[in-house]
Amino acid sequence: MKTPQAAKRLLRCAAMRLVDLDRDMSDVIPTGTTRDSQYVFDRMTRATLAATHPGPGRRILDVASGFGQDAIELQAQGAWVVGAEPSERMMAWTRMKSGEASGSVPAWVQAWGDVLPFADDSFDAAFCKGALDHFDQPDTAIAEMARVTRPGGRVVLTIANYDSFTCRASRAADDVEELGLKRPMRRGRRHYDVPNDHFTRYDLELMREQLSAHVEIDHVEGLSLAWGLPLWTRSVGHLPEAVADTVLRGLDWIAGRAPALADVLVLAGSPKRNKSTSGDGVYN
């Protein structure tokens, strides 16, 4: 039987989120990809999935699984994977593509990240890649990921860093143009502005704070540097492929040693267990 607290949460979710169930991400997924963008997207995927410690028999939960590509990749590595996604349109697309697969495919569950319909300790790992800043209650979602992950398991979060070197450099350049040179403010969203569909502007300090409330953090990794700076993006696109790859990997190496400046952050650790976790799997 659901507790009053659980019932309130379910009612709250049903009341405020029906408008989001048709979201399909077509408005935010790029139709064309620059060389530095392709590098950072691939790097995000590799780093995130590696942090779950994938392998045969591992039970892994993909929170906000989107189109399901990460869950499918982990399943192909032998893990038993569940993708949890609230959008009806994305779930329908994912199930359609899964039906075309010849091998084993993940299980797909329509669910919000902060009300995960799984028992305590159900998974060896739970991860959320590039979606936590879309959640209106990210702290609760992190608590839920920790709850459904067994002691000693892995909770992995990957998120864009809005205090990165790129964001700082872009802001400084705009300040010079607008305040120093008195040029009019540029129209549209700037690189360091949080998109309208984001609830939280994450940086390393905030991500540490939220995750450490529920997880013993043992892994902090910075990925990529200078992603999206206009001059750099144009320049790397004209470099020979081997040279561009060497430079991108060099900047990635720097980001790994200075995560506060990195374009993307990956944090991971084992879930904490304390009195805030109730027996019915609901955080009070």
Q: Where are the domains of the chain?
A: 17-182+201-271
Instruction: Say whether 56 sits in a helix, a strand or coil.
Output: coil
Q: Residue 85 is which amino acid?
A: E
Q: Is pLDDT at 81 greater than 80 in this prediction?
A: yes
Mean pLDDT over the full length of the chain: 83
- What single-letter DSSP state applies at residue 277? B
Structure-derived torsion over alpha carbons of residues 220, 221, 227, 229, reported in degrees to the nearest 10? 50
Tokens 């200078």 belong to residue? 226
Q: What is the mean pLDDT of residues 227-240?
A: 88
Q: Is 1 exposed, middle or buried (0-12, 13-18, 19+ CB in 10 A)?
A: exposed
CATH superfamily of 17-182+201-271: Vaccinia Virus protein VP39 (3.40.50.150)
Helix (H, G, I), strand (E, B) or coil at 280: coil
What pLDDT, on a 0 to 100 scale, did the predictor assign at position 41?
Answer: 94
Look-up of token digits 């839920």: 144
- The top-scoring range by mean pLDDT among 6-15, 86-95, 150-159, 195-204 is 150-159
Q: Is the pLDDT of residue 226 over 70?
A: yes
Enclosing H/E stretch for 149: strand 149-160
Residue of higher predicted confidence among 31 and 92: 92
Do 155 and 211 touch, CB atoms closer than 8 A? Answer: yes
Cα 75 to chain center, whole Å? 19
* Model confidence at 27: pLDDT above 70: no
**Strand-by-strand arrangement of the 149-160 sheet:** 107-109, 80-84, 59-63, 123-129, 149-160, 264-271, 215-223
Question: What pairing do the DSSP bridges indicate for beta strands 59-63 and 80-84?
Answer: parallel
d(CA 17, CA 179): 41
How close are the terminal C-alpha atoms of the chain, in Å?
16
Pairing of strands 215-223, 123-129: unpaired
Could you tell me if 161 and 200 are in contact, meaning their C-beta atoms sit under 8 angstroms apart?
no
| Residues 277 and 5: beta-carbon distance below 8 Å | no
For residue 124, count other CB atoms closer than 10 A to its CB: 21
User: Over the stretch 107-154, which tens digit does the pLDDT of each residue have?
Assistant: 999 999 999 999 999 999 999 999 999 898 999 999 999 999 999 999
